[in-house]
Structure 1
Amino acid sequence: MTTVGFIYPDHAAEDDYPLAEGLLGDVRLAVEHIYGTDLHAVAELLDLGSPERLAEGAQLLAPHRPDAIVWACTSGSFVYGPEGAAEQVAKLSEAAGGIPASSTSFAFVHAAGALGLRRVAVAASYPDDVARLFVEFLAAGGVEVVSMSSADIDTAAEVGRLTPEAVLDLVRTHDHRDADAVLIPDTAMRTLALLGDIEEHLGKPVLTANQVTVWEGLRLAGAGRVVESLGALFRTLSVPVGAGGR
């Protein structure tokens, strides 16, 4: 059985992963946690995604013998910028014994490419300055952001407490008519159970952080799956390509 390992920061919406595992059926999604501040601020996010913390996560995942590993944190990866984030996953791969590695930020870029998306709207939970770094990261990956909103939520714990109705409202009110899709970039937000309702309402693809993170791990492991309830991204098989920023 294919096993994909995920390093998840603190606790918020990690229950999206066993939900996905149940839908996938024959793939194991192993989640281990690292801890630091959950503040959405640049200095704290740089510390959270440091090589030392991710190496700790890789060590915790080692007994699961994963076929691929993903840093399941968007802000703790894009805050490094494209080159820094590529170095981050390269070091993570090294710490994990050379298995393929990536992060949620690269997962968004790869998922957008897989769906042929070029113009997107971003419905971010972060403060504005952090959300703008995500916009810059996407632009470097060839994804144009035509609209960006920031809910200005300071911590991941607060995001994890959002009700399904609040998440749906966030997405519905921050779509843009020129966007090919809406992106929701926070792994602290529970979204997997809502994907069908959101896409049906908007009439376009929606990419969420935990969704693309799971998809990226499967892609790296060469274990793509079709799961109708996980949105447009999971309705066709992914084609394995290079890890991380390559």
Structure 2
Amino acid sequence: MWQPDGWDARARIGVLTPHGDVGPESELQAMAPDGVRVHAARVPFGAMARGGRIPPTIPLAPIREYPDPPHVDDAARLLAAAPVRSIAFAFTSSGYATGPAAEAELLHRLDAATHGIPVVATCSAAVLALRALGVGELALLDPPWFDQELSGMGAEYFRDQGLEVVFNSPVGLPSNQRSINPGELYDWVREHVSARAEAVFVGGNGMRAVGVIAALEQDLGRPVLTANQVLLWHALHAGGLNVPVHGYGCLFEVQPPLPEE
């Protein structure tokens, strides 16, 4: 008799996203298993204009400023007042630009703001995912609005975590979020990924990417990870949600590694 009204969630996950960016919550909800809902809180991002417009190349200064207090802390605190199981920080580039130690400090700070609701971040989630899959060598591909310097910082982030980056580059596609075409991304990755790479990581939570994961894994014969995919995987486990996700890569078949003693 009654029509679905969205209240029948088994669990809810929060996401902290740049104020004009609809990409992270769109991809997270698309991948989310039945009964898991995604709820966003918006954080001001100095490089993003009305309508989600961004410059062809995003400068480093607003990237580094994005995770600074108070805006992200206030957004996390408000989001944690809702009945969410975990919160995902959907911003790859700040992890690249500030490094693993600063990202860990950010998560520690946000954990205090959320009063115990776990917060996960994209780059550290990617490292956990690569370790869970037993990957040591990866190809790193980034959005076209990341310049070579920022993509190089991403490579250093992963090298600092003991991984070997055998290839890294922004993808050669139009530098506009709305112009990213899954078919063109699929072709570019197939053409440019080194045979030496044991896995592919596509950075950038604002880049349309999760729809090509399964096709690329089948074609390349190796794991394909994306920013929002690893973020959802970690957020589900951090929230105690051991529920299956189908159609978005082999990552969802493995558990996060246990913390080192």
TM-score, normalised via structure 2 length: 0.84
Please tell me the residue identity of whatever aligns with 2:21.
H
Residues 121 and 181, structure 1, Cα contact 8 Å, conserved in 2: yes
Please tell me the residue identity of whatever aligns with 1:186.
G
1:108 alignment partner in structure 2: 126
Identify the match of residue 144 of structure 1 among 161, 164, 174: 164
1:2 alignment partner in structure 2: 11
Residues 241 and 35 of structure 1, relative CA distance in 2, 3 Å threshold: farther
Distance 2:252 2:184 in 1: 24
1:98 alignment partner in structure 2: 116
Cα deviation, residue 212, structure 1: 0.6
Please tell me the residue identity of whatever aligns with 2:31.
A
Is 1:35 the counterpart of 2:37? The answer is no
Please identify, of 24-33 and 71-80, the stretch whose mean Cα deviation from structure 2 is larger. Answer: 24-33
Residues 166 and 49 of structure 1, relative CA distance in 2, 3 Å threshold: farther
Cα deviation, residue 204, structure 1: 1.1
Residues 154 and 201 of structure 1, relative CA distance in 2, 3 Å threshold: closer
Alignment of 1:80-229 (within 5 A): 80-125=98-143, 126-151=146-171, 158-229=176-247
Please tell me the residue identity of whatever aligns with 2:201.
L
Please tell me the residue identity of whatever aligns with 1:13.
G
Spell out, residue by residue over 1:82-121, the C-alpha distance to the aligned partner (whole angstroms, 9 max, x if none). Answer: 1111101111111111322221011110110111110001
1:18 alignment partner in structure 2: 29
Spell out, residue by residue over 1:201-246, the C-alpha distance to the aligned partner (whole angstroms, 9 max, x if none). Answer: 211110001101111101211213332301010123x24755xx99
Q: Report SS of the residue matched to 1:176.
A: coil
Cα deviation, residue 13, structure 1: 1.5
Please tell me the residue identity of whatever aligns with 2:70.
E
Q: Report SS of the residue matched to 1:229.
A: coil
1:61 alignment partner in structure 2: 79
Runs of at least 5 residues in structure 2 that lack an aligned partner in the other structure? 1-9, 49-54
Spell out, residue by residue over 1:127-167, the C-alpha distance to the aligned partner (whole angstroms, 9 max, x if none). Answer: 10001111111111121101112237897xx1343111222
Distance 2:118 2:74 in 1: 17
Q: Report SS of the residue matched to 1:186.
A: coil
Please tell me the residue identity of whatever aligns with 1:31.
A
Residues 234 and 256, structure 2, Cα contact 8 Å, conserved in 1: no
Please tell me the residue identity of whatever aligns with 2:191.
T
Residues 161 and 61 of structure 1, relative CA distance in 2, 3 Å threshold: farther
Identify the match of residue 75 of structure 1 among 86, 93, 104: 93
Residues 198 and 222, structure 2, Cα contact 8 Å, conserved in 1: yes
Distance 1:225 1:53 in 2: 32
Q: Report SS of the residue matched to 1:230.
A: coil
Runs of at least 5 residues in structure 1 that lack an aligned partner in the other structure? none
Residues 192 and 230, structure 1, Cα contact 8 Å, conserved in 2: yes
Residues 217 and 249, structure 2, Cα contact 8 Å, conserved in 1: yes
Larger Rg: 2
Cα deviation, residue 17, structure 1: 1.9
Distance 2:71 2:150 in 1: 21
Aligned residues: 239
% same residue: 28
Please identify, of 194-203 and 112-121, the stretch whose mean Cα deviation from structure 2 is larger. Answer: 194-203
Cα deviation, residue 27, structure 1: 2.4
Q: Report SS of the residue matched to 2:70.
A: helix
